[in-house]
């Protein structure tokens, strides 16, 4: 009788794809145990009880639901998995917030829910000052962000790519929302494809995190801080238990290590190269990698030149050490915000003190809007879409000079600069409309226009730390009212899932049997 009742009360999203959603619930339950163990070791019993009891209860509920739906398989696995992805980012933070609400004194469930939405979407926006939270809660935030980043990796490769969503529509030139024939993947079953990609990506993701953790410890960070920063780097969430890299003990060496691993958010070719040819050759040919190098070099150079000119005006330009620090700070900030991680270099404040200039907020906002690579943990518009628009614009300028010319390049390049550019423009317009809508909604809550724009871009690009550095006066997430927090949380989910993926749910072919 109990199993019959469970079948009747399963939520709509879980009912659409119960095996995967239940699996995510089980992973969330197991992920609560490390914070519980850490709190128990530190004899902080309130968080220890909160994480252990919640994880144990969730694990029991997961097993009960799993028994109730045993043997049940969705008729359309691709459709079911996409619905589960939407449901995971929309509903799972409600569960993840329970232990945090119990572990943190003098907080509300609503604020804990906002924190979990921010972490799970790898946004990294926080309502709490670092000293207020126990270390177990910091570990929980970093773990949730790390799991959310891996979920994006996995679902992008196993579900979004075959459905031409998440930026893959630019390469294929076909509108998203319909599972394509398996001409490139012999595994037509989405579940089998997911298992195969899980076996490939999970060791890579965990191995890179472990490697960065060990390197940061060797550079001088404590094991706990190093682990949180390693998970925040690979997930591009920017979550830190010590208010960023400036509070870490590894100093400039730690920043160099973090920068090296942020590269994995610039292009999928860095961690999942094409099977044909050399990985280095594939990376060199990758348009996202080439565009990222060009953007970082240009922006870092412009930022350094800005600070150098300001330093000359105040007669401090002759200091080579401060000039080198300004150059490093500019390079690190360009990579950090292009990958939407949002880590701030300690040299950034030194550069501004050297030149006497304020925050170049517009440049950082532009970097976050561009975002990183397709199928990475980065947010934003994505570099592949920017590349398609640039190639289309370049071709149109060539035709203005030579109207009857025939464009060169291979079939993929022609597809990207024509149909791919059209789809990229559609997404860019949807993204712009989303920003305008979020800014208007923020304005209705009483926020000033500048603050509304900064928060809207930060939420939709999943770059939470952008709010603190994009304007001269930092915008604090904790200063928002409940209505503004709810709008920001919805924008984070929208930015993580992308508007095209949500619009695909309204495609009649998506629901046709």
- 352/308 Cα distance (integer angstroms): 10
Mean pLDDT over the full length of the chain? 86
**CB of 130 within 8 A of CB of 242?**
yes
Given pLDDT bands bounded at 50, 70 and 90, which one contains residue 242? very high
Closest Cα to residue 333, out of 323, 344, 322, 349? 344
What pLDDT digit, counting tens, does each position of 108-117 carry? 999 999 999 9
Per-residue model confidence (pLDDT) at position 510: 63
Per-residue model confidence (pLDDT) at position 12: 40
Choice between 329 and 225, residue whose per-residue pLDDT is larger: 225
- 454/465 Cα distance (integer angstroms): 10
Given pLDDT bands bounded at 50, 70 and 90, which one contains residue 193? confident
pLDDT at 316 over 60: no
What pLDDT digit, counting tens, does each position of 123-139 carry? 999 999 999 999 999 99
Per-residue model confidence (pLDDT) at position 7: 41
**Residue located via tokens 């197991």:** 30
- 168/175 Cα distance (integer angstroms): 10
Closest Cα to residue 127, out of 100, 164, 153, 147? 100
Given pLDDT bands bounded at 50, 70 and 90, which one contains residue 91? very high
- 415/413 Cα distance (integer angstroms): 5
Per-residue model confidence (pLDDT) at position 76: 66
Share of the chain above pLDDT 90, in %: 56
**CB of 458 within 8 A of CB of 484?**
no
What pLDDT digit, counting tens, does each position of 142-158 carry? 999 999 999 999 988 88
- 455/347 Cα distance (integer angstroms): 25
| HEC readout, 149-212 | HHHHHHHHHHHHCCCCCCCHHHHHCCCCCCCCCCCCCCCCCHHHHHHHHHHHHHHHHHHHHHHH
> Mean pLDDT across the stretch 487-495?
96
Given pLDDT bands bounded at 50, 70 and 90, which one contains residue 303? confident
> Mean pLDDT across the stretch 233-253?
93
- 189/195 Cα distance (integer angstroms): 10
Record the tokens describing residue 491, joined without a space.
Answer: 């924008």
Lowest-pLDDT range, 7-16, 248-257, 331-340?
A: 7-16
- 358/351 Cα distance (integer angstroms): 10
Record the tokens describing residue 479, joined without a space.
Answer: 């200063």
Per-residue model confidence (pLDDT) at position 15: 42
Contacts of 263 (CB under 8 A, 6+ apart): 270, 335
pLDDT at 69 over 90: no
Lowest-pLDDT range, 86-90, 166-170, 269-273, 404-408?
A: 404-408
Given pLDDT bands bounded at 50, 70 and 90, which one contains residue 256? very high
Share of the chain above pLDDT 70, in %: 84
Residue 356 — φ and ψ, nearest 5°?
Answer: 75, 15
pLDDT at 31 over 50: yes
- 274/271 Cα distance (integer angstroms): 10
Per-residue model confidence (pLDDT) at position 249: 92
Per-residue model confidence (pLDDT) at position 84: 84
Per-residue model confidence (pLDDT) at position 123: 96
Record the tokens describing residue 474, joined without a space.
Answer: 């930092």
What pLDDT digit, counting tens, does each position of 275-288 carry? 666 777 878 889 99
pLDDT at 17 over 90: no
């Amino acid at each position: 009788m109990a199993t019959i009742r469970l079948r009747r009360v399963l939520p709509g999203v879980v009912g659409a794809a119960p095996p995967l959603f239940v699996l995510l619930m089980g992973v969330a339950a197991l992920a609560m145990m490390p914070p519980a163990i850490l709190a128990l070791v530190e004899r902080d019993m309130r968080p220890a009880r909160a994480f252990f009891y919640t994880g144990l209860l969730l694990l029991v509920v997961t097993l009960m639901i799993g028994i109730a739906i045993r043997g049940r398989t969705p008729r359309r696995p691709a459709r079911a998995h996409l619905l589960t992805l939407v449901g995971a980012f929309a509903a799972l933070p409600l569960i993840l917030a329970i232990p945090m609400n119990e572990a943190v004194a003098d907080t509300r469930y609503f604020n804990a829910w906002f924190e979990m939405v921010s972490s799970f979407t790898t946004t990294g926006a926080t309502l709490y000052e670092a000293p207020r939270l126990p270390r177990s809660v910091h570990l929980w935030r970093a773990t949730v962000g790390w799991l959310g980043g891996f979920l994006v990796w996995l679902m992008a490769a196993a579900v979004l790519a075959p459905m031409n969503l998440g930026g893959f529509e630019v390469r294929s030139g076909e509108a998203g929302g319909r599972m394509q024939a398996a001409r490139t993947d012999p595994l037509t079953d989405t579940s089998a494809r997911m298992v195969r990609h899980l076996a490939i990506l999970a060791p890579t993701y965990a191995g890179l995190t472990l490697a960065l953790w060990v390197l940061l410890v060797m550079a001088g960070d404590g094991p706990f801080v190093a682990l949180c920063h390693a998970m925040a780097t690979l997930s591009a969430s920017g979550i830190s238990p010590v208010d960023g890299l400036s509070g870490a003990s590894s100093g400039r060496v730690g920043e160099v290590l973090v920068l090296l691993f942020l590269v994995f958010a610039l292009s999928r070719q860095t961690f999942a190269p094409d099977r044909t040819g050399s990985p280095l050759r594939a990376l060199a040919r990758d348009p996202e990698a080439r565009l990222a190098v060009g953007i970082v070099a240009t922006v870092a150079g412009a930022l350094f030149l800005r600070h150098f000119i300001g330093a000359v005006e105040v007669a401090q330009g002759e200091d080579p050490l401060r000039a080198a620090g300004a150059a490093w700070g500019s390079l690190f900030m360009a990579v950090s915000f292009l990958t939407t991680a949002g880590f701030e270099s300690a040299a950034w404040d030194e550069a501004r003190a050297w030149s006497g200039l304020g925050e170049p907020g517009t440049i950082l906002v532009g970097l976050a809007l561009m975002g990183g690579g397709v199928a990475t943990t980065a947010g934003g518009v994505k570099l592949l879409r920017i590349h398609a628009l640039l190639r289309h614009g370049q071709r149109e300028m060539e035709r203005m000079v030579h109207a009857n010319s025939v464009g060169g390049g291979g079939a993929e390049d022609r597809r990207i600069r024509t149909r791919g550019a059209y789809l990229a423009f559609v997404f860019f317009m949807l993204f712009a409309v989303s920003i305008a809508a979020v800014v208007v909604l923020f304005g209705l809550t009483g926020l000033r226009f500048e603050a509304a724009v900064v928060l809207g871009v930060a939420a939709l690009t999943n770059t939470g730390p952008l709010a603190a550095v994009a304007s001269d006066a930092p915008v604090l997430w904790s200063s928002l009212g409940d209505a503004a927090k709810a709008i920001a949380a919805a924008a984070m989910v929208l930015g993580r899932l992308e508007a095209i993926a949500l619009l695909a749910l309204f495609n009649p072919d998506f629901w046709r049997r």
